[in-house]
């Protein structure tokens, strides 16, 4: 099933306090407000057991692996309840490392409420946090939130109520933790004034954190967690349903961090646990009931209490918004309304997990074309990327040769600039590794370098942009008609699945970042705004590589050789 779990190096589920956490929660905790309010949470479903074990994973030194844990599920999957369980355990449970267990060691709750946990030899033991401070963040003023309500119910009506010092200890605006500490609901304005005692901050439904004050709340509170991190091993919990692309919500920012991690853009792992389940379906299949059912089973996983038949009826109702269905029920990102190519369209042209035949790679000696789009430094904002993309002529496989992007941690005052020497080396190496028959480059701000490449490589190319300039292929200026036609041919190849790609994360993100721009001559592409950090240069380079490939095919270059079969002539 489509389920992305991104963990840190050294992650080992056997080295986790999560097994103890699950047993403790199942013994003490109740469901919060709703149809099953007040009933025991036991048994916790398997995938949430796995998430809790991952959340409490430890390094070999016994310290937490994660400063930030992220849970993404569709509507109706009790994400807020998972947050509440973590909050209760952080306040009153053995949630921090206390050495490695010896054979026969047992943990018993300090209140005599009958909880016993028999450690396995070598398993991490747990102890309570000293003076825990758990913050449940709500998005609206005057709203305590479901997370806090669930915690409050447990500490007033559940087994743990007997551990509270008195009935007034658990109020509607503050819960005093036995032995010291607090659990509080928090709003944007209150959080901005807080001094930062938090040991755990619970952010619920972060796709709604799409306003400046909510984004600032998130930044302030996560920054405050650093104050007690060394002594209390603080962390942030984030739950969400799929975000609306382009709103720059906190959920979207977290997804982008993981995208950059998977693309190899981050120099260091961000100590982020990422758990995202979704349904794999395209808009064209929303009218197919069986495909709908399968995609909903994928997205809802172990959350069996949801009415799949009812969801199918809801989704197939023509009055309901398709974009909302993708986000809320399939937990799948939808493309922006003005997206050039939708993500599901690009995904369909790439590697499919269940089909090894789609796992395609370029090999040395392949006949290919190259596309290049370059950038130069800018004094303000993030410098555009520089991209070199290849395309195998025989089958139209696009692959990343090299993409240079401004490092995330760049702090220079003069603006980052791509190392031109590296660009020249990569181009030179590409000509050594492959049989390059065509090379199209947008010369904007790279005119002198493109001229040098034409002098060096032009005579050897079988496909030329023009006789005078075999490599130069302007994407701006007075060539709008040709640019529009090249973009149309690329888009058609994606829609018709004539084009394939190797799954490059950078190329993927650049294609998805591209926005349609209607002009007097047709559709062109651009960033969402000129200063956007979401770049599209690899997409432009891919269009150029594809155009060179089309020109090669038109000349009969690099086509698959038909096998000759000998046959006896009678």
pLDDT digits (tens, 9 = 90+) for 15-25: 999 999 999 99
Say if residues 276 and 74 touch (Cβ distance below 8 Å): no
In a 10 Å sphere around its CB, with 0-12 CB exposed, 13-18 middle and 19+ buried, how is residue 523 labelled? middle
The band of 283, judged by pLDDT with boundaries at 50, 70 and 90, is confident
Residues 127, 191 share a domain? yes
- Name the band, by pLDDT with cuts 50, 70 and 90, for residue 568: low
Residues 313-349 as b or e (16 or more Cβ within 10 Å = b): eebeeeeeeeeebbbbbbbbbbbbeebbbbbbbbbeb
Domain of 330 in residue numbering reads as: 283-334
- Both tokens of residue 440? 């199209």
Reduced to 3 states (helix: H, G, I; strand: E, B; else coil), residue 135 is: strand
Say if residue 449 is in the same domain as residue 533. yes
Structure tokens at 233: 């091993």
Inter-axis angle of helices 537-554 and 480-495, to 10 degrees?
90
| Mean pLDDT on 351-367 | 84
When mean pLDDT is compared over 19-23, 162-166, 227-231, 411-415, the highest value belongs to: 19-23
Give the whole-angstrom CA distance, residue 221 versus residue 201.
7
| pLDDT of 237 above 60 | yes
- Does 356 lie in the same domain as 330? no
What is the pTM assigned to this prediction?
0.76
Residue 77 and residue 184 in one domain? yes
Is 257 a domain residue?
yes
Is a pLDDT exceeding 90 seen at residue 415?
no
Tell me if 330 is assigned to some domain.
yes
pLDDT in tens, 316-343: 988 887 778 888 999 987 766 678 998 8
User: What CA–CA distances, in Å, run from 181 to 150, 158, 167, 274, 347?
Assistant: 18, 19, 16, 28, 48
Q: Tell me the range of 211-220, 275-284, 348-357, 432-441 where mean pLDDT is highest.
A: 432-441
Same domain as 210, residue 289: no
Mean pLDDT of 368-382: 86
pLDDT over 50 at 565, yes or no: no
Give the model's pLDDT for residue 570.
Answer: 44
**Beta-carbon-side half-sphere exposure of residue 335 (alpha carbons within 13 Å):** 22
In whole angstroms, give the CA distance from residue 199 to residue 95.
Answer: 11
pLDDT of residue 394: 96
- At residue 137 the predicted structure's pLDDT band, cuts being 50, 70 and 90, is very high
pLDDT score of 142 more than 70 = no
Residue 425 and residue 323 share a domain: no
> How many independent structural domains does the chain possess?
3
Asked whether the beta carbons of 333 and 242 are under 8 A apart, the reply is yes
Taken in order 86, 78, 148, 142, the sign of the CA dihedral is: positive
Tell me the average pLDDT of the chain: 91
CA distance 39 to 162: 17
pLDDT attached to residue 381 = 74
Q: Which residue has the higher pLDDT, 338 or 454?
A: 454
pLDDT digits (tens, 9 = 90+) for 22-38: 999 999 999 999 999 99
What Cα–Cα distance (Å) separates residue 459 from each residue in 240, 393, 446, 462, 530? 55, 19, 20, 8, 37
pLDDT surpasses 80 at 355: no
Give the CATH number of the domain where residue 50 resides: 3.40.50.300
Exposed / middle / buried, residue 556 (Cβ in 10 Å: 0-12, 13-18, 19+)? exposed
| Domain assignment of residue 153, yes or no | yes
424 shares its domain with 513: yes
Interatomic CA distance for residues 161 and 263, integer angstroms:
48
The pLDDT tens digits of the residues spanning 101-111 come to 999 999 999 99
Do 11 and 137 sit in the same domain of this protein?
yes
Residue 567 covered by a domain: no
Q: Does residue 19 fall inside a structural domain?
A: yes
291 and 374 assigned to the same domain: no
User: Do 463 and 550 have their domain in common?
Assistant: yes
**Does one domain contain both 102 and 238?**
yes
Average pLDDT, integer, range 295-300: 96
**Whether the predicted pLDDT of 471 surpasses 80:** yes
Distance of CA 124 to the CA centre of its chain: 30
Alpha carbons 405 and 426: distance in angstroms, whole number: 15
């Amino acid at each position: 099933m489509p389920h992305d779990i991104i963990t840190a190096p050294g992650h080992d589920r056997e080295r986790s306090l999560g097994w103890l956490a699950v047993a403790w929660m199942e013994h003490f905790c109740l469901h919060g407000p709703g149809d099953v309010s007040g009933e025991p949470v036991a048994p916790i479903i398997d995938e949430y057991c796995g998430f809790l074990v991952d959340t409490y994973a430890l390094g070999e030194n016994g310290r937490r692996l994660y400063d930030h844990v992220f849970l993404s599920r569709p509507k109706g999957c009790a994400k807020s309840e998972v947050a509440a369980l973590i909050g209760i355990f952080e306040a009153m449970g053995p949630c921090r490392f206390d050495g490695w267990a010896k054979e026969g060691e047992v943990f018993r709750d300090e209140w005599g409420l009958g909880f016993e946990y028999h450690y396995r030899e070598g398993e991490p033991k747990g102890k309570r946090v000293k003076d825990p401070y758990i913050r449940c963040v709500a998005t609206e003023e005057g709203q305590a939130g479901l997370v806090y309500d669930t915690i409050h119910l447990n500490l007033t009506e559940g087994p743990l109520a007997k551990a509270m010092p008195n009935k007034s200890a658990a109020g509607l605006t503050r819960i005093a933790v036995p032995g010291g500490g607090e659990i509080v609901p928090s709003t944007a304005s209150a959080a901005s004034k807080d001094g930062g005692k938090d040991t755990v901050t619970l952010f619920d439904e972060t796709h709604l954190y799409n306003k400046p004050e909510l984004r600032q709340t998130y930044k302030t509170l996560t920054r405050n967690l650093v104050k007690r991190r060394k002594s209390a091993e603080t962390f942030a919990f984030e739950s969400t349903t799929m975000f609306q692309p382009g709103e720059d919500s906190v959920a979207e920012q977290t997804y982008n961090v993981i995208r950059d991690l998977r693309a190899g853009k981050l120099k260091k792992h961000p100590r982020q646990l990422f758990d995202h389940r979704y349904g794999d379906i395209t808009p064209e299949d929303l009218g197919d009931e069986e495909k709908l059912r399968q995609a909903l089973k994928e997205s809802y996983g172990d959350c069996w209490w949801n009415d799949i038949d009812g969801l199918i009826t809801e989704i197939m109702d023509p009055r309901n918004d398709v974009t909302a269905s993708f986000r809320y029920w399939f937990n799948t990102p939808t493309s922006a309304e003005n997206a050039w190519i939708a993500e599901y369209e690009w995904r369909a042209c790439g590697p499919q997990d269940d089909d090894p035949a789609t796992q395609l790679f370029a090999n040395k000696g392949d006949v290919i074309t190259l596309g290049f789009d370059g950038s130069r430094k800018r004094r303000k904002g993030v410098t555009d990327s520089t991209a070199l993309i290849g395309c195998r002529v025989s089958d139209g496989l696009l692959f990343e040769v090299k993409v240079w992007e401004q490092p995330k941690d760049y702090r220079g005052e003069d603006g980052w600039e791509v190392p031109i020497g590296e660009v020249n080396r990569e181009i030179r190496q590409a000509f050594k590794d492959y049989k390059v028959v065509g090379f199209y480059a947008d010369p904007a701000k790279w005119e002198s370098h493109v001229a040098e490449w034409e002098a060096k490589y032009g005579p050897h190319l079988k496909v030329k942009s023009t006789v005078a300039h075999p490599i130069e292929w302007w994407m701006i200026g007075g060539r709008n008609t040709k640019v529009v036609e090249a973009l149309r041919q690329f888009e058609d190849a994606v829609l018709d699945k004539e084009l394939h790609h190797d799954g490059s994360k950078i190329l993927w993100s650049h294609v998805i970042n591209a926005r349609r721009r209607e002009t007097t001559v047709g559709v062109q592409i651009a960033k969402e705004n000129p200063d956007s950090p979401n770049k599209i240069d690899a997409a432009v380079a891919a269009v150029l590589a594809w155009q060179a490939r089309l020109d090669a095919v038109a000349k009969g270059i690099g086509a698959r050789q038909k096998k000759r079969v000998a046959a006896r002539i009678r």
